[in-house]
Chains A and B, each alone.
Chain A
């Protein structure tokens, strides 16, 4: 960062940042030209790096940076996934007083099986809040095992790493397409793209932040959205007869959403569940429940 504050000014403060970071073993680099760093990464692309508060030999650290495995071709999803299935029961309003929110969560009307490729808990809270009982399963769960849980819909989560090596997930998605409504976010969206015959590619420096403008192509409406991804789906690689492109990033025209023209399947690259926001894209969870309702119907 540019300038680290060693004091806290909020009356609620119980600890200064430095103590907190030391407690959780996080080193901090401050007093650098952060604009120069951003421009360097923007011009040359994202790259591996090391921050050190214990080594002063820059050459050694550069060598260490070069020894870090590159993300391209790395399947990280299976590393971070849950090892065992579990049921998620907490909605996003569970912690709020009833007097404030009225009904805490919609009573469960659907059973969703969610593939955990590195799933964010707020996705689970949003699904539960929209009336979904959620069973979370490991990344490498076979499609037949998912179907045996008798879901009303399948969710494909976000996660780290390159989608291409996650062939087990692409196989499962292909087996589930047309047999269950499917909604994917971020890595889940990339896996859907590959399952539909498309290709993914690595962005020069990724999309990171909570203020990215995304356009709904059908309506022209603009959503402000949260992004955290380094890969994207190549829209030209998708079969036009089967896939409708639904959302596009206005900063660089990256594909941000797609929908199957005939099957109950849609996905977005960005994070509609982002907490504390923006909340422009919360409607997507209602679209998923509507899709499941129509499928059941």
Chain B
């Protein structure tokens, strides 16, 4: 499957997807 990383400034990285079908957008934690 395909996968995308989309950043807030509009930069996008397209690649291949593995693992679960879904989305992940957790802010990095301290």
Interface residues of A (CB under 8 A from B): 4, 6, 17-18, 21-22, 24-33, 36-37, 40, 44, 46-56, 58, 61-62, 64-66, 68-71, 76, 118, 158-161, 186-187, 206, 208, 228-231
Contact = CB atoms under 8 A, between A and B. Distances in A.
Given A4-B16, A21-B20, A54-B23, A44 B3 contact: no
Given A65-B7, A68-B25, 11 more contacts: A17-B19, A27-B19, A29-B15, A31-B16, A50-B5, A53-B2, A58-B6, A62-B8, A65-B6, A65-B8, A228-B29
Contacts of A231: 30
Nearest to B10: A62
A49 B17 contact: no
Contact of A27 (B11, B21, B29, B30): B21
Contacts, number: 151
Nearest to B7: A49
B8 A27 contact: no
Contacts of B14: 32, 58
Contacts of A51: 3-5, 23-25
Contacts of B15: 29-32
Contacts of A186: 30
